[in-house]
Structure 1
Amino acid sequence: MERILVINPGSTSTKIAVYEDETPLFVKTINHSKEELAPFKEPFDQYEYRRDLVLRTMEENGVTRDTLTAVVSRGGLLPPVRSGAYEINDDMIWQLHYRPENEHASNLGAPIAKSIADELGLKAYVYDPVTVDEMTPIAKVAGLPEMRRKSLGHPLNMRAIAHKYAKDSHTEYEKLTLIVAHLGGGITISLHQNGRMIDLISDEEGPFSPERTGGLPTFQTLKLAAESGRSFKELYNYVKKQGGLMGHLGTNDGREVERRIAEGDEHAALIYEAMAHNISKHIGALATVVHGKVDAILVTGGVAHSRMITDWITQRVSFIAPVHVYAGENEMESLATGVLRVLRGQEQARTFTKVEDL
């Protein structure tokens, strides 16, 4: 029996769990107010604060450190990596501290996990970081030589759901061709073949979502950027936080949108169905990469709780392959089950080597 400590630091919260094999002993989300985080100038300054919080929460829930067999954390913003598990080493800690792809609280997860594991003589891991990149060379080509398409999405949840579907279907993930759509605050859609994510439509080029614009008409975008007088950071926050449902309807809450639709709001109905229309269109685009030979289409993420959205998607794409809905994000379970496969010898953890020039 394995007992795994799971750590998931976010910008305004820290999620902590302990799993005994596939069973959670506890799962806690600790929210951090602006006032609590105000004394810390940089995310890495929060290291001791968050580490103490992890240990205290574990003890408060009746789990002592000496009963653990492994520790796993959400992967931070590493350079592009392969999918699966990486044992946390000094190179990874250096990378996240001094040369991350971007600053984010998730970069703290690996240092905290390794510190706790080292004290106990255990191994610590990250699993399916956000920067998993297994796209084929042809999939990375963009319309300008100065640019390339990037694999930035929700690999942790998408691959976990793909593994879950494989288990439910009594087959192996490596033998399936799947399209997985993660519907959250941002929406990303991935194509899985022979155990790899060979293509991915990111939230900067795909369908609009509750908060993000997704892909935009290029010439109109250039005109807006040129005439707005806004900085890059201002424009970035605009397309990341003020687009999609938020931009059109002033809310990112699908339940509120569905309430308006039920009350006869035709504009809300148009925008909401347009989101499903766009999701479906991009699912179809990925199907062409494998000549339409798809075993299943999996829909996951928080927005997948909406039967209205999933029904609209199913109506549009079920001619490609059967559609299965796995609502929710399941990050903590995904981290625990990923490392369980390593501990059981079903997967082998990779070794990370630092990259000094990004």
Structure 2
Amino acid sequence: MTSQAARVLVLNSGSSSVKYQLLDMRDGTRLAAGLVERVGESASRLTHTPADGGERSRTGRIADHDAALRAVAEELARDGVGLDSPALAAIGHRVVHGGPVFTAPTVIDDDVLAEIERLVPLAPLHNPANITGIRTARALRPDLPQVAVFDTAFHTTMPEHAARYAIDVATADAHRIRRYGFHGTSHAYVSRRAAELLGRAPEDVNLIVLHLGNGASASAVAGGRCVDTSMGLTPLEGLVMGTRSGDVDPAVVFHLERVAGMGTDEIDHLLNKKSGLTGLCGDNDMREIRRRVDAGDPSAELAFGIYVHRLKKYIGAYYAVLGRVDAVVFTAGVGENAAPVREAAVAGLDALGLVVDPELNAVRSREPRLVSPAHARVAVAVVPTDEEMEIARQTFALVDA
């Protein structure tokens, strides 16, 4: 790496999409960002936003991820920040599942890529697409460090009593069944920024972080280290989500198989795609649900009530796990923007020191902020997440060491 190389390209490859951002790690400047959608279809679309904000787009078939990344490279070159630039230090890849092996960002070589492939059974919807992005980027820039940043890595600090399921140990070990947790890149970023907001070092604060988007997860963070999280072997466990059920009795699966005659794939689809807020009221957009609640819609009221009830349960549980809580932190699309969710989640928890100030809670901002009154024993904070910046930060720290 040259002394002037301080840029990191972040790639998040999905099954039919590629999200990307190019960041200058000297000052955190975002030089470009974009999204390639519907890869492999006739109506593929690339939307590119350079540093000056002048968005441009193009449509037409983009055959595969190789073609998608080449199209991204062309757009970056138009801005003078192409993949061949000597200022590019590395490419950072989001990889959803790192299993028990990967506990930190890792420079990708053939052995690392082979291990990520062995983890595909743990994340069959995500890791294959991540692998495709890695292969494509390595082919385009074989000379450049490629770094995998794992969604599960932040949660690998959980103690065994939090990470283990109470099932036969030999069976669990043989099939790598344990609680891995997800959204770890977001939880890492947000917990660090929350400590800064409080004016304290990460190792000095205990936090409950609530990442509330279409997917949702909670984590208990003690001194900068995750000690518990709500998602488990897969992202299905835990909070009520947009289309995922979150916690259910495992016997629901057997019941649906015996009584409803449903097959494994059908039940999987039900719990992952047709449950959560969508299953309860037909909507997974919290703005629309709140509009319906305000209009007196009973199914929306029930969905919102179930959603908030599950949040309260996890706040209370993680308060007990941590023993001392300095802040409850909301992030992601719902957490950052839905004031009624934040208010309802801590309502009635005054005895735990949790309360929001209605005026502060109503403020919309992209900046980290407190929404609790000055006298609150436990802070309630909103910290916008930035997973791409966290991937870039971890990538650059590794290759610049």
Relative to the length of structure 1, the TM-score reads 0.83
Preserved CA contact (<8 Å) 2:253 2:267: no
Find 1:19's aligned residue among 3, 6, 23: 23
Q: Could you say which residue in structure 1 is the equivalent of 2:38? A: 32
Alignment correspondent of 2:89: 69
Q: How far apart, CA to CA, are the structure 1 residues paired with 2:381 and 2:349? A: 11
- d(CA) in 2 for partners of 1:90, 1:223: 44
Which residue identity does 1:231 align to in structure 2? G
Q: Which of residues 86, 103, 106 in structure 1 aligns to 2:130?
A: 106
| TM-align CA RMSD | 2.7
Matched, 1:294 2:300: no
Q: Answer whether contact 1:88 1:126 (CA < 8 A) is retained.
A: yes
2:128 is equivalent to residue 128 of structure 1: no
Deviation of residue 83 (structure 1)? Answer: 4.3
Residue identity in the other structure for 1:58: L
For the pair shown, which has the larger CA radius of gyration, 1 or 2?
2
**Secondary structure of 2:133's aligned partner:** helix
Matches within 5 A, 1:233-272: 233-272=265-304
Is structure 2 residue 110 aligned with structure 1 residue 90?
yes
**Residue 226 to residue 108, structure 1, CA distance change in 2 (3 Å):** same
Number of aligned positions between the proteins: 335
Per-residue CA deviation, residues 182-213 of structure 1 (Å, 9 max, x unaligned), is 11222211122243222211143322112111
Aligned partner letter, 2:383? Y
1:332 aligns with 2:388: yes
- Contact persistence 1:74–1:110 (CA under 8 A): no
Instruction: Supply the distance in 2 between the matched residues of 1:55 and 1:238 (Cα, whole angstroms).
Output: 39
The counterpart of 2:164, out of the listed 107, 132, 141, is 141
User: What residue identity is the alignment partner of 2:388?
Assistant: M
Shift of 1:243: 0.6
Bigger relative contact order (CA 8 A; separation at least 6): 1
Q: Which residue of 1 aligns with 2:73?
A: 55
> 1:19 aligns to what SS in structure 2?
strand
User: 1-side partners of 2:150 and 2:319: how far apart?
Assistant: 23
Q: CA deviation at 1:221?
A: 4.5
Asked if the contact 1:177–1:293 (Cα under 8 Å) also holds between the matched residues in 2, the reply is: yes
Which residue identity does 1:296 align to in structure 2?
A
Give the Cα–Cα distance (whole angstroms) in 2 for the partners of residues 98 and 219 of structure 1: 29
Hey, what's the Cα distance between the residues in 2 that align with 1:275 and 1:51?
38
Unaligned runs of 5+ in 2: 45-62, 354-377
Q: CA deviation at 1:330?
A: 2.5
How far 1:34 moved relative to its partner?
6.2
Summarize the alignment of residues 137-216 of structure 1 with structure 2, pairs less than 5 Å apart: 137-145=160-168, 146-147=171-172, 149-202=178-231, 203-216=235-248
- Note closer, same or farther for the CA distance 1:116–1:226 as it changes in structure 2 (3 Å cut): same
Relative to structure 1, the CA distance from residue 8 to residue 181 in structure 2 (aligned partners, 3 Å threshold; closer, same or farther) is same
TM-score of the two chains, using structure 2 as the length reference: 0.75
Asked if the contact 2:21/2:34 (under 8 Å) is kept, the reply is yes
Instruction: Please report how far the alpha carbon of residue 219 of structure 1 lies from its aligned counterpart in structure 2 after TM superposition.
Output: 4.3
8 Å CA contact 2:39–2:64 kept in 1: the answer is no
Instruction: Kindly state the Cα deviation for residue 142 of structure 1 after the two structures are TM-superposed.
Output: 2.5
Residue type of the partner of 1:274?
A: I
Distance in 2 (CA, whole Å) between partners of 1:265 and 1:242 is 20
Q: Give deviations 1:51-83, integer Å, cap 9, x for gaps.
A: 323322322443122231222111243332454
Indicate how the Cα distance of structure 1 residues 47 and 77 shifts in structure 2: closer, same or farther if over 3 A, else same. farther
SS in 2 for 1:310: helix
Instruction: Structure 1: state its 5+ residue gaps.
Output: 39-44, 346-358
Native 8 Å contact 2:214 2:242 kept in 1: yes
Higher mean alpha-carbon deviation, 238-247 vs 69-78, is at 69-78
**Cα deviation code 1:247-286 (max 9, x no counterpart):** 0111111111112122222331232132012112112112
Does structure 2 conserve the Cα–Cα contact (< 8 Å) formed by 1:73 and 1:113? no
